[in-house]
Chain A
Amino acid sequence: MQTKEKAALALTSFLLLMAWSGTWFEISATGTYTEGLERNPTITTEYIIDASQESFEMSIENATPLLLYWIEREDVTVNAEETGNGSTNDKPSSEGPGETVEGGCQDSCLDQARGAVQVVMIALLASLCLSYVRPSIYLRTGVLVVWLIGSVVIVTAVPIAAAYDFGVTGAEGSEGSSTGGFDTATQDNSVSVNQFAHFEQSEDAKVRLSGIAFYFDSVGFDLGLLDEGDRQGVVDQKPSPGDPGYESLIRFHGELEVGPGEILTWWVFTSPVLILNLLGSRSQKLEEE
Chain B
Amino acid sequence: MTYFGAMLKEWSCPAKCMRDRLLPTLVCLIMLTSLAPTASAMGPADSSIWGLSYDWAHFEGDVQNMTGVDTNAANEDLEEAAEYAGFTLETDQVLSGSSHFYVESWDESDIVEIQDIHGVTHQVSKRVTELTIRHGLLADAGFTMAWNDDSESIDVWYSASQEIVLVVDATYTEYVDSDMMVYGADLEMTGEVSDSADLSMNLQIIAAGEVEAPEIDLGYSLSMEIPSLVSQWRVDEPMDYLYDLIEPAGSDDGEDEGDDGECYLVPKDYIAPEDGWFYGSSGEEYWVEGGEDMFPEDGTFCPDGDGRDASGIIEGTYSTLTGYSLSVGMNGLPAEEFGINLDVFNVQLSDSVPGQGTFSDDFEMGSGAIWDWECPPIGGTESLTIDNVTTEVQCGLAPPISPGMAFMMGYSMIPAFDNGVSELSSVMQQQVESWIGEISGEEEGGVFVCDSGEEIPADWENDGEVDCSDGSDESDSSDTFTCDNGEVIPADWENDGEEDCSDGSDENEGPSEDVFEKYINMFEALNNSNLPKTMEAFGEKLGELVEDNVPSEPVMDLEDSCAILFWNTDESRVVGMAILNDGDGDDSSEVLLGPSIFGVREHNVDLNLEYHDGDDARDVKAGILGLTELREIAPESKHDVEELYNILGPEFLPDLDQTDTDQDGILDFFDEDDDGDGLFDWQDDDPLTPFRSPGDEEEDSVPGPGALAIVSILGAAAILIPRRDE
Question: Which A residues are within 8 Å of any B CB, using their own CB?
Answer: 39, 52-65, 67-68, 71-72, 74, 77-83, 85-89, 91-92, 96-99, 108, 110, 162, 165-167, 171-175, 188, 228
A68 touches B430 (CB 8 A): yes
A81 CA to B503 CA in the complex, in Å?
Answer: 14
* CB-defined A-B contacts under 8 Å, sample of 12: A39-B353, A57-B347, A59-B349, A67-B349, A72-B430, A81-B485, A81-B487, A85-B487, A86-B488, A89-B477, A96-B504, A108-B341
Chain B residues closer than 8 Å to A68, beta-carbon distance: 423, 426-427, 430
List CB contacts (< 8 Å) of B566-591 with chain A.
none
A89 CA to B501 CA in the complex, in Å?
Answer: 13
Stretch at the interface among B21-29, B444-452, B645-653: B444-452
A172 CA to B424 CA in the complex, in Å?
Answer: 39
B498 touches A79 (CB 8 A): no
Chain B residues closer than 8 Å to A91, beta-carbon distance: 493, 500
Nearest first, the 10 A-B pairs at minimum CB distance are A173-B502, A98-B499, A55-B344, A53-B343, A96-B499, A81-B486, A59-B348, A87-B488, A63-B349, A57-B346
A81 CA to B482 CA in the complex, in Å?
Answer: 10
A79 CA to B486 CA in the complex, in Å?
Answer: 8
User: Separation in Å of the B342 CB from the closest CB of chain A?
Assistant: 5
Chain B residues closer than 8 Å to A39, beta-carbon distance: 351, 353
B205 contacts partner chain A, Cβ-Cβ < 8 Å: no
Chain B residues closer than 8 Å to A72, beta-carbon distance: 430
Q: In the complex where A71-B430, A166-B341 touch, is A97 in contact with B504 (Cβ < 8 A)?
A: yes
> Digit string of B467-503 for contact with A (CB within 8 Å is 1, else 0)?
0000000010100101011111110010000111111
A207 CA to B458 CA in the complex, in Å?
Answer: 48
User: Separation in Å of the B544 CB from the closest CB of chain A?
Assistant: 46
User: Separation in Å of the A59 CB from the closest CB of chain B?
Assistant: 4
Chain B residues closer than 8 Å to A58, beta-carbon distance: 346-348
Chain B residues closer than 8 Å to A60, beta-carbon distance: 348-350
B499 touches A71 (CB 8 A): no
A56 touches B430 (CB 8 A): no
Q: In the complex where A55-B342, A58-B347, A110-B341 touch, is A99 in contact with B434 (Cβ < 8 A)?
A: no
Q: How large is the interface on B (under 10, 10 to 19, 20 to 34, 35 or more residues)?
A: 35 or more
A54 touches B343 (CB 8 A): yes
A99 touches B499 (CB 8 A): yes
Q: In the complex where A85-B487, A87-B480, A91-B493 touch, is A79 in contact with B499 (Cβ < 8 A)?
A: no
List CB contacts (< 8 Å) of B437-462 with chain A.
445-449, 451, 458
> B502 contacts which of A55, A166, A174 (Cβ < 8 Å)?
A174
Q: Given A68-B430, A71-B430, 6 other A-B contacts at CB below 8 A?
A: A55-B342, A59-B349, A64-B351, A74-B445, A80-B449, A162-B341
A174 CA to B503 CA in the complex, in Å?
Answer: 8
A232 CA to B613 CA in the complex, in Å?
Answer: 71
A96 touches B500 (CB 8 A): yes
Number of A-B contacts (CB under 8 A): 131
Chain A residues closer than 8 Å to B237, beta-carbon distance: none
A92 CA to B500 CA in the complex, in Å?
Answer: 7
B615 contacts partner chain A, Cβ-Cβ < 8 Å: no
A172's closest neighbor in chain B, by CB? B502
User: Separation in Å of the B534 CB from the closest CB of chain A?
Assistant: 33
Q: In the complex where A98-B499, A167-B504, A173-B503 touch, is A87 in contact with B489 (Cβ < 8 A)?
A: yes
Question: Which B residues are within 8 Å of any A CB, using their own CB?
Answer: 336, 341-353, 423-424, 426-427, 430-431, 434, 445-449, 451, 458, 475, 477, 480, 482, 484-490, 493, 498-504, 507
> B507 contacts which of A61, A83, A98, A188 (Cβ < 8 Å)?
A98
B344 touches A53 (CB 8 A): yes
User: Separation in Å of the A220 CB from the closest CB of chain B?
Assistant: 19
A75's closest neighbor in chain B, by CB? B486
Chain B residues closer than 8 Å to A54, beta-carbon distance: 341-344
Q: In the complex where A61-B350, A63-B351, A171-B502 touch, is A83 in contact with B486 (Cβ < 8 A)?
A: no
Chain A residues closer than 8 Å to B349, beta-carbon distance: 59-60, 63, 67
B423 touches A89 (CB 8 A): no
Chain A residues closer than 8 Å to B350, beta-carbon distance: 59-63
Chain B residues closer than 8 Å to A67, beta-carbon distance: 349, 427, 431
B344's closest neighbor in chain A, by CB? A55
A61 CA to B487 CA in the complex, in Å?
Answer: 33
B484's closest neighbor in chain A, by CB? A188
B427 touches A71 (CB 8 A): yes
Chain A residues closer than 8 Å to B447, beta-carbon distance: 79, 228
User: Separation in Å of the A110 CB from the closest CB of chain B?
Assistant: 7
B423 touches A55 (CB 8 A): no
User: Separation in Å of the B504 CB from the closest CB of chain A?
Assistant: 4
A287 CA to B26 CA in the complex, in Å?
Answer: 92
A210 CA to B136 CA in the complex, in Å?
Answer: 45
User: Separation in Å of the A166 CB from the closest CB of chain B?
Assistant: 6
A57 CA to B447 CA in the complex, in Å?
Answer: 37
B489's closest neighbor in chain A, by CB? A87
A166 CA to B427 CA in the complex, in Å?
Answer: 30
A87 touches B475 (CB 8 A): yes
> B477 contacts which of A59, A63, A87 (Cβ < 8 Å)?
A87
Q: In the complex where A54-B344, A82-B488 touch, is A62 in contact with B493 (Cβ < 8 A)?
A: no
Chain B residues closer than 8 Å to A99, beta-carbon distance: 498-499
B431's closest neighbor in chain A, by CB? A71
Chain A residues closer than 8 Å to B347, beta-carbon distance: 57-59
A173 CA to B343 CA in the complex, in Å?
Answer: 29
Chain B residues closer than 8 Å to A82, beta-carbon distance: 448-449, 482, 486, 488
User: Separation in Å of the B433 CB from the closest CB of chain A?
Assistant: 9
Chain A residues closer than 8 Å to B475, beta-carbon distance: 87
B500 touches A62 (CB 8 A): no
User: Separation in Å of the A213 CB from the closest CB of chain B?
Assistant: 23
A62 CA to B499 CA in the complex, in Å?
Answer: 38
B502 touches A83 (CB 8 A): no
Chain B residues closer than 8 Å to A52, beta-carbon distance: 343
Q: In the complex where A82-B482, A98-B507, A108-B336 touch, is A64 in contact with B424 (Cβ < 8 A)?
A: yes
A85 touches B449 (CB 8 A): no
A56 touches B345 (CB 8 A): yes
A172 CA to B504 CA in the complex, in Å?
Answer: 12
User: Separation in Å of the B418 CB from the closest CB of chain A?
Assistant: 15
User: Separation in Å of the A93 CB from the closest CB of chain B?
Assistant: 12
B346 touches A79 (CB 8 A): no
Chain A residues closer than 8 Å to B449, beta-carbon distance: 79-80, 82-83
User: Separation in Å of the B351 CB from the closest CB of chain A?
Assistant: 5
Chain B residues closer than 8 Å to A92, beta-carbon distance: 500
Chain B residues closer than 8 Å to A171, beta-carbon distance: 502
Chain A residues closer than 8 Å to B426, beta-carbon distance: 68
B479's closest neighbor in chain A, by CB? A87
Chain A residues closer than 8 Å to B503, beta-carbon distance: 173
Chain B residues closer than 8 Å to A97, beta-carbon distance: 499, 502, 504
B458's closest neighbor in chain A, by CB? A79
Residue among A64, A83, A85, A173 with most chain B CB within 10 A: A64
A89's closest neighbor in chain B, by CB? B490
A9 CA to B196 CA in the complex, in Å?
Answer: 52
User: Separation in Å of the B388 CB from the closest CB of chain A?
Assistant: 56
User: Separation in Å of the B78 CB from the closest CB of chain A?
Assistant: 35
